[in-house]
Amino acid sequence: MVSEIFTHKNTSPKSCANDGLLTGRRVVIQPNMSARGWLCDAGSPALEGFVALEDATAVARMRDAGAELVGSSRMSELGFGLAGDTANRILSGGEADIALVTDTMGEARVAAAGSGVFGFKPSFGMVSRFGLVGLVPSMECYGILGKKLEDIIDILSVIAGKDKDDPSMPDETSPDFAAARKPLKMPCTAGVLKECFDLLRDRERKAFGTGLARLEEAGLTIREVNFSEFDLFRTVHHIVASVEASSSAGKYDGVRYGHRSFSGKNWNEMYLNSRGESFGSQIKTFLFQGAYFQFENYPAFENACRTRRRLVRNVADLFERVDLLLFPTRRLEHDPEGAATINHIYDAFLLTLPANVTGQPSLHIPSLALHSGADIGVQLVGLRLDDPRLLSIGMKLSSTAQGGTSHEI
Amino acid sequence: MKYEAVIGLEIHVQINSATKLFCDCPNRPGDEPNRNTCPICLWLPGALPHLSQEALEKAALACLALNCTIQPESAFDQKVYYYPDLPKGFQLSQHHKPLAKNGWVDIVGDDGRIKRLRIHHIHMEEDVAKLVHEMEGKTPISLVDFNRAGAPLIEIVSEADMRSPHEAMEYVKTLRSQLRHTGSAECSLEHGTLRVDANISLRPRGTDEFNTKVEVKNMNSIRNVGDAIAYEIIRQTNCLEKGEPIVLHTRLWDPEKRVTSPMRSKFSGPCVPDPSVPRIVVGKDWLKEMQSRLPEMPGQKTERFLREYGLTPEEASNMSFERDLSEFFEAVVKQGLPPPKVAGWMTTHLVPALRDRNQTVRETLLTPVRFARLLSMLEKDIINAHAGKEVLLQLLSSKETPEEIVEKGRFRQVSDATELEAVIDRIIAEHPSDVEDFRKGNMKVMGFLMGLAMKASQGKANPKLLKEILTKRLD
C-alpha cells in the first residue's frame, strides 16, 4: 500500500515475538533500509522498482525483538538532505512511535528538531550497515527519532552490536545499554565551541542561551572551548561525502535493476541516458562535485582526508577537558527541506555534520533551547563508541531540565 | 643494434581459492553464465564486501614465493571507471597500500649468467565480469556474465629490469613455476588464469634513461609474450629511425597475424580509498604461519637435488621445475632406484608422453611405485629401453601391473645367446655386400646391422648381448 507519506505500508505489522524488548513499539523505516519484499528505491528512480531481497541486519533485529514495522516513509533522493522526507509527519500523525532516518549530515537530528522529538545519531560502527542502501559509507548511519528517549535507547540496544555481515564494524564488544537507561550522576562538564556560538544569529543565540541555562540548572558545568578549525568540518564533509557519493552511486547503471533508458545507441549512451534521466538535479550536482574531486582534483580530496583525521584528533583532545560537547541542532533561517542548492543544504546542516565527520554519537534534545516559540534544539556530542554514557547523560538532563519526572514531552 | 629495450611486466594471476574475493560464491568463472552470483558480487543495493581469508592467505603465499615483503598494513581502493562489466562502478584494488613489496626472481639472463629481476609490488584485486556480444536476430546485443565478477586476482608489477624478449619469457616461466609450487594458482596463459601485459620502451644503448613506454596486451602463451615484445622492439626501432615520436598508448597483440596494433585507450580513473573493506593488518603470528606453509621453492630444490642425488645441473633443474613432477621424482627415488636413471627416464620418456596426452602425472594411472617397478625391470635387464617405453605408455592408462604388461605384451628381453646368434647369422648371410663394406673399414655398417637385428627380434633383443655377438661374428 502506498500513500502520500508512505512508500510502503505494512498491512500486518504485528511481530510474532510477543515478549521482545520492542513488542508493541511501532517503527517506521525508510525505503533505503532493506525489508524483505518491500520497495527499496532509496527515493530515487535510479532504483526504480527495486524490492529488497532480504532484511537489513537492523530491520531483522527489530523484527526479532517484537517491533511492529508499520512501513516506509518517503525520503530525499538517496538520503542526502531532507527534501520530501515524511518520517516526522508519520510520527506527529501518531502512526508510529519511532522513526529510522539515515543520518549522513544530521538528517535525523534536524528532522527531530523540526518536530519536537528526540533525535539520535549513533557512533559510526555502532550499528551494522548491512542492507542499508547508503550513499556516504564512512559517515552515514541509522538515525533514530522518538518521542521518548527510552524508545531510542531500546531501539539502539536492539540494533547495535557486531554483525558478521558488516566487517567494517570495530571489534569492540557491544556496549551495555542497561547503563544508558539510568540517569548518570553529575557532575559533568560540557564544552561549547566559541566559533560555533559566534556564528549564531541573535534569535538563535538567545534560544541556545536559554537551553544552556536550563542545563546548568540541571547540574551541568558548561565551559567555552576554542576550536579555530570549526569551519573545516563543512569543507571536509562536502569534499569527502561528495566523493564517496560519486563512488557509491556508480553502481546505478541500469544494467541489473532500476530505470534503464532505451534511447541510446550503445552501452555508453544507455549508461549516460539512464543516469541522466534517473537522478534529480540536486543529487546530480552533488555527484558531479564528487566526480570533480575524483577525476580533476584528487589532491584536494587527499587533503580533506588528512584534515578529517586531524579534526578527529583535535576533537578527541577537547575531551581531555570536557565530558561532552554542546551544539545547537538547527539554524532558524535555513530550511533543510526546501534548500535549493547544495550550499543551502550545507548551511542547514552546519551544526550537525561535525558528528558525521568524526563518527561521534550525537543526541538532539527538544524543548530546551526555546526562544519566543522557536526551538533550535540542543545536541549533546559524546565520545565515539561510548553511546550509553551519552544517552545516560541525556536521560538525566532531559528529565531535570524539562522539569518533570516523565521523559515524555 | 644501437637501441636497448627496457621491459617491465604486469602480470595478473587468478588465485584458486574456493570462493570469490568478497563473497561466498564459488570461484568458478567457467560455470553456466550467472550461476555463481549473489547480492555482493552483483553489488545489489545494501551489499557489503567481506574479504575471503582463504584468498588473502593464498595471495600472501604467492607473495612470499616471489620473495616479497608482506606489508604490515594494506588496504583496498576503489579504481573508478564505468563499464558494464564492472557492477560497482569501481574495481576494488590495492592501489595506495599493496599487500606486498620488493620481491625478486632469478633467471638465466641473455649472457647465460644468473640475473636477478626485481618485483616492485604485488597487490590484490577483484576480477570484472565477462561481456558476451551476440546477435538477437539482426540486433547486436551485449550480455554480461557475472560469474567472474569478484574472482580474486593478484597483480605482480615488475621493475623494468628486463632487456630482451628472452628475459621476459624466462621471467614469466620462473614466476609461474614458483607460483604453481605454492598451490595458490593455476597460472595458465591459455585459460586466462595468468595474463601478461608488457611495457616496452627503447633507449640508446649505454644510457640509463626511461623513455615513453608502450603497453602490449593479449598474449596467450609464453612464446607470444616473446614474439609480441620482439615485434614491438622492431616497430619502435623503425619509428625512432624514421624520427617519429613514441606515443604512450596500449597495443593489442594479434596471435594470428603476429603483429601489434593500437587499441582504443581505456579511460583510467582515480583510486579512492574504500571505506567499507577493513584494512589488512598483518600480525607476526599470522606471517609466521604463512611462512611455514611456503613449500620448498624450485631454486632451493634444484640445489638440494644437485647435492643429495648427484644429478647434473640440467637434470636437477628439470626435476624441480614443477611441483608434481619433483614430488613424483623423489617418491620414485625413495623406492631405491638410482636418481640419475629416474631423472633421465622422466625427462626423455615420461614428460614428453604427458605432454602428448595433455595430462599431468596425477591425472594418469602411473604411480611412483609402478614407475619404480618398471625402472627396476630395466635395471635388471628383464626388458630393454625400447620395450620400457612401450610399457610406460601402457602404465599411464592401464590398471595392470608393470609385470603383467611385460608378460602379456611379451616385452621380456631376449638374452638367450643361441637365439640371438641365429638371428645375426641370418642377417649376415642376407647382406654380404654390407659385411664386405664393414670389413673394409666402414664402421657405420655396424649400426645398420644392429638395427636390422633388433627389428628381427621385434625390439626385444638385449642390445648389449646383441652387439657382443655381432662384433664377434664380423671379426
For A128-186, the pLDDT digits (tens) are 999 999 999 999 999 999 999 999 999 999 999 999 999 989 887 678 888 788 777 76
Contact criterion met (CB < 8 Å) for A168 and B48: yes
The predicted model gives A209-216 an average pLDDT of 93
Q: Does residue A35 sit at the B interface (CB-CB below 8 Å)?
A: no
To which H or E segment does residue B136 belong? strand B130-136
- Helix, strand, coil abundance in chain B, percent, nearest 5: 40, 20, 35
Among residues B255, B246, B251, which one has the least CA distance to residue B264?
B251
Residues in chain A closer than 8 A to B90 (CB atoms): 247, 250
CB atoms within 10 A of CB B127: 23
Separation between Cα atoms, residue A380 and residue A392, nearest integer Å: 11
Q: Residues B289, B90: contact at Cβ < 8 Å?
A: no
How far, in whole angstroms, is CA B363 from its chain's centroid?
A: 17
Residues in chain A closer than 8 A to B272 (CB atoms): 243-244, 247, 294, 301
Of B46, B88, B275, the CB nearest to A130: B46
Q: With pLDDT > 70 as the criterion, what percentage of chain B qualifies? A: 99
Question: Which of A237, A251, A303 to substitute to test the interface with B, most B CBs within 10 Å?
Answer: A251
Chain A, residues 352-371, CB within 8 A of chain B, namely none
pLDDT-derived band of residue A84, with 50, 70 and 90 as boundaries? very high
Beta bridge partners of B77: B93, B273
From the CA of A228, how many Å to the nearest CA of chain B? 28
Q: Does residue A255 sit at the B interface (CB-CB below 8 Å)?
A: yes
Helix (H, G, I), strand (E, B), or coil: what is residue B93? strand
Contact criterion met (CB < 8 Å) for B80 and A132: no
Q: Residues A76, A85: contact at Cβ < 8 Å?
A: yes
Separation between Cα atoms, residue B193 and residue B54, nearest integer Å: 18
- Return the residue of A nearest to B267 by Cα: A295
> Angle CA(A161)–CA(B40)–CA(A240) in degrees, nearest 5?
70
Q: Could you report the predicted ipTM of this complex, rounded to two decimals?
A: 0.90
The predicted model gives A361-384 an average pLDDT of 93
Contact criterion met (CB < 8 Å) for B89 and A250: yes
Cell for B125?
Answer: 584485486
Residues in chain B closer than 8 A to A32 (CB atoms): 45
Separation between Cα atoms, residue B431 and residue B448, nearest integer Å: 11
Contact criterion met (CB < 8 Å) for A167 and B42: no
- B422 compared with A49, residue with greater pLDDT: A49
Q: Does residue A56 sit at the B interface (CB-CB below 8 Å)?
A: yes
Peptide bond into A187 cis (omega under 30): yes
pLDDT at residue number A1: 67
A404 pLDDT higher than 50:
no
Question: Which of A77, A136, A248 to substitute to test the interface with B, most B CBs within 10 Å?
Answer: A248
Separation between Cα atoms, residue B92 and residue B115, nearest integer Å: 34
- Return the residue of A nearest to B87 by Cα: A251
From the CA of A60, how many Å to the nearest CA of chain B? 14
> Angle CA(B66)–CA(B72)–CA(B75) in degrees, nearest 5?
90
Per-residue pLDDT tens for B276-332?
999 999 999 999 999 999 999 999 999 999 999 999 988 999 999 889 999 999 999
CB atoms within 10 A of CB B310: 12
Helix (H, G, I), strand (E, B), or coil: what is residue A220? strand
Residue with cell 569551519: A231
Per-residue pLDDT tens for A12-25?
887 667 789 999 99
Cell for B130?
Answer: 565477462
Per-residue pLDDT tens for A184-208?
776 789 999 999 999 999 999 999 9
Residues in chain B closer than 8 A to A249 (CB atoms): 89
> Angle CA(A185)–CA(A187)–CA(A193) in degrees, nearest 5?
125
From the CA of B133, how many Å to the nearest CA of chain A? 12
Lowest mean pLDDT among B35-44, B59-68, B319-328: B319-328
Where residue A324 falls (left for φ over 0; alpha for ψ -120 to 50; beta otherwise) is: beta
C-alpha dihedral sign at B366, B369, B371, B377: negative
Residues in chain A closer than 8 A to B280 (CB atoms): none
Cell for B218?
Answer: 593479449
Of B39, B142, B270, the CB nearest to A298: B270
pLDDT at residue number A166: 93
Of B82, B90, B278, the CB nearest to A271: B82
Among residues A37, A3, A57, A52, which one has the least CA distance to residue A257?
A52
Contact criterion met (CB < 8 Å) for A271 and B273: no
Residues in chain B closer than 8 A to A246 (CB atoms): 80
From the CA of B273, how many Å to the nearest CA of chain A? 9
Query: What does pTM read for this prediction?
Result: 0.87
Helix (H, G, I), strand (E, B), or coil: what is residue B393? helix
Which amino acid is it at B304? R
Contact criterion met (CB < 8 Å) for A53 and B39: yes
Residues in chain B closer than 8 A to A257 (CB atoms): 44-45
Of B87, B142, B275, the CB nearest to A244: B275
